Structure 1
Amino acid sequence: MPYQCLTGPGVAEMLTQFDYNAINVGDAVARASAQGPEALTDAELLAALLRGGDAAHVGRLASELIHYYGSLARIINDPPEHLLGVAGAEAATTIGLMRQLIQRVGRGPDQERVQFNDYIRLHTYLRNRMAGRSVELFMALFLDNRNGLICETCSEGSIAHAPVYVRNVVHAALSSGSARVVVAHCHPSASKNPSAGDIEMTRRLKEGLATVDIGLLDHVLIAGDEAISFTTKGLL
């Protein structure tokens, strides 16, 4: 059957009609060596990274994952517990290592603090963390007085809601010695319109942080590949 590699709920129904072209992992690796990794398709790149003892299985799995999720970003950003059920333990572990590598590179070399000196860098950082999520994710970035990243926190919610607790954000800001905070959340639906709840939550966060003399620099909504700034839209 065409879905025997994937095991998650509802996967069989989504994959039954798909005509698979399993990736030849050896050919993909050889072409990457000769022409550079940019010569590979998304499925070939994923297969090359997942390669192990059973090349035929890995090639098939890579094709199925790309079809099931639709993009590499959705695979990398899928919650680990869901990815485990879909791809299996070995592939989920490898993809988790890829995710960690991407996140560490984004933090800068030698553990240097990322400096958010402009909106382009801030929005790129947040898109890399949040684009393609299948559930809402809320993140808080805690910054020093030069907009350098001290630390970050994140929490996952459902497909339409991520819980936010003002007290927890304020406590984390104080504990980390932050001068200002940026918060962000994503819309899995790719809707670019902040909800009334988003706007009200932003107001409460700003007021809560202000009581301890910490500024809320921005609230960024990630919708698909776009980043919408509450500050720029006059909502902060």
Structure 2
Amino acid sequence: MAGTTPAPKPYQAAQGFSIKSWAEEDRPREKLLLKGRAALSDAELLAILLGSGTAKLSAVDVAKLILAATGNDLNELARLSIKELMRHKGIGEAKAITIVAALELGRRRKDADAAARAIITCSRDIYHVIRPHLQDLPHEEFWVVLLNRANRVMRKVSISRGGVAGTVADPKLIFKEALEQLASSIILVHNHPSGNRSPSTADIALTRKLKEGGMLLDLPILDHLIYTDQGYYSFADEGLL
């Protein structure tokens, strides 16, 4: 009949479309559902965090460019700040924050359960316990690890945060934390973002000062560790305590 509006065609069910017809940035999500997370490349996992790309680049393309800029090294990616991530095309503040948050969660998960009730028997134990807190930092921080009589970790405490070249550790704050927690001994830790593991003259003087204070308070300083992402320096191992 003339003038009659034809009946609308039914929509095609979503499952009828081939994956190849989907937007490229959506494929990693489907691939994860179909094949599991292990089947995805680093770029595909990063693309899922990004959610979308740009007008000319898919999320996967953007992810590949970011990874290429870091030598495809996830450790280097984890060192980037929000501002550094935002220098990449297609990365705004929200996406940069999402990347940083995801990498931080992965770092915290790594040794969380083991570190919670760790027993310290050597300098390498200290290194593994403190690593989640100091890894990839671009600035110096000073921490103390408080132990009970069985050398079990009671608490890890951040004492100070400084710049690239150094940070100030107040002995009063260190011993205050130890006394309040009824700790039996203390381990000192600070990082060198430069990667240089050698102690400075100031590091040696501070260690000596804290050792003397600990002896008066019956709170022995068991070690002072200089942390770097590539390894560490132990005052105790080197016979300086």
- TM more than 0.5: yes
1:162 aligns with 2:167: yes
Once the two structures are TM-superposed, the CA of residue 126 in structure 1 deviates from its matched residue by 2.6
Once the two structures are TM-superposed, the CA of residue 196 in structure 1 deviates from its matched residue by 0.7
1:175 aligns with 2:180: yes
**Any residues of structure 2 matched to 1:51-200 within 5 Å, and which?**
51-52=50-51, 56-57=58-59, 60=62, 63-64=65-66, 67=69, 71-76=73-78, 82-83=81-82, 86-87=85-86, 88-93=93-98, 95-96=100-101, 98-100=103-105, 102-103=107-108, 106-108=111-113, 112-154=116-158, 155-200=160-205
Identical pairs, percent? 23
Query: 2:213 matched to which residue of 1?
Result: 208
Residues 38/220 of structure 1: CA separation in 2 closer, same or farther (3 Å cut): farther
Q: Deviations over 1:34-84 (max 9, x none)?
A: 48638734x544444x24355934752574267269843355466xxx536
Once the two structures are TM-superposed, the CA of residue 179 in structure 1 deviates from its matched residue by 0.9
Once the two structures are TM-superposed, the CA of residue 25 in structure 1 deviates from its matched residue by 7.0
Once the two structures are TM-superposed, the CA of residue 101 in structure 1 deviates from its matched residue by 5.4
Q: Which runs of 5+ in 1 are unaligned?
A: 1-22
**1:181, 1:77 → 2: CA distance?**
29
**1:58, 1:183 → 2: CA distance?**
43
**2:229, 2:116 → 1: CA distance?**
29
Query: 1:26 matched to which residue of 2?
Result: 27
Once the two structures are TM-superposed, the CA of residue 209 in structure 1 deviates from its matched residue by 2.3
- 1:135 alignment partner AA: H
**2:116, 2:225 → 1: CA distance?**
23
User: What number of residue pairs does the alignment pair up?
Assistant: 208
**2:72, 2:165 → 1: CA distance?**
20
Q: CA RMSD in A?
A: 3.5
Secondary structure at 1:108 match in 2:
helix
Secondary structure at 2:175 match in 1:
helix
Please say if residues 47 and 59 of structure 2, whose CA atoms lie closer than 8 Å, have aligned partners that are also in contact.
no
Query: 1:5 matched to which residue of 2?
Result: none
Residues 36/177 of structure 1: CA separation in 2 closer, same or farther (3 Å cut): same
- 2:229 alignment partner AA: G
Please say if residues 70 and 77 of structure 2, whose CA atoms lie closer than 8 Å, have aligned partners that are also in contact.
no
